[in-house]
Structure formats: C-alpha cells, structure tokens
Amino acid sequence: MRVLLQRVRQARVAVDGEITGRIERGLVALVGVHRGDTLADVHYCADKCAHLRIFADEAGRFDRSVLDVGGQILAISQFTLYADCRKGRRPYFGDAADPELAEPLYEAFVQRLRDTHRLDVACGEFGAHMDLEIHNDGPVTLFVDSAVNA
C-alpha cells in the first residue's frame, strides 16, 4: 500500500458537483493499493499515518501527529500512485490492485483510522472521477509505503 500524505489547512472532495467529504486542519491521504497488499499493509499504513509527527510544536519542529493536533483526514482512493512511467508514453498500472481487492482494502484503511485511532475521516467515492480542493500547509507532502511493497 502506498499513501501520499499532504498536510492541509482544509480540503474537500466533490463527485458530480456534490461535496462528499470536507475537512479542516489535518491530512489528505491519497491511498493506492498494490495487487499484493493484505490487511497487514493496511494496518501498517493507517497506523503510520495516524502517528506520523508532521505538525509543528511551539518550537516549529515536526513533533506532533494528526492525533496530537486534533486534526482530520480526507482519504481518497488513488490507483495512479502505482503508475509505472519508465517505458513509453502511457503509464502502466499493472502493479495497482484490481477494484475487487482495492476497494475492501481502501475501506479497511478508513475503518482502521476511525475505529482504532478515533480519527474523523472524510472520504471521496471509490472509483469515481473526483474534484479535489486542497489547501496545502507548508507544503508538507510525504509518501508512506507499507513494509511489504515499499
């Protein structure tokens, strides 16, 4: 599993012009599922995202997590994170999981954040064309890869 995390002041996602998710201070998590991923990958990435210290303390150091600052997460499914652009002009998506595997693992990621970490998580719509409005803070953008498919 691969998650592109962006620290944000606010963000929202819309499908067909209707807002399906909105957050204030927190993280946007663009979530890509690898064809070999399991629940172990989901748990690793969700736990890492919840506890990663990328918010500033009083001294300006990265020393607080989204949990520490009472932030929210906007989770968006993003199979294109597994695009291979090394050959030709068209990306190859063979490492991305098929929707039958990806959707339940994406949902498990969201549930892990909600149930285990008690985070407020907003979502887009799996497989839909989505419009995102992201107000980056910093900007701070990081990759979190599961230990299995890093």
- Residues tagged active-site: 78-80
Beta strands in the chain (DSSP E): 2-15, 18-23, 26-32, 55-56, 62-64, 72-77, 120-123, 131-145
Q: Measure Cα distances from 93 to 23, 66, 77 in Å.
A: 30, 31, 14
Burial class of residue 35 (count of CB atoms within 10 Å of its CB; 0-12, 13-18, 19+) = middle
Burial class of residue 95 (count of CB atoms within 10 Å of its CB; 0-12, 13-18, 19+) = middle
Helices (H) and strands (E) in the chain, counts: 2, 8
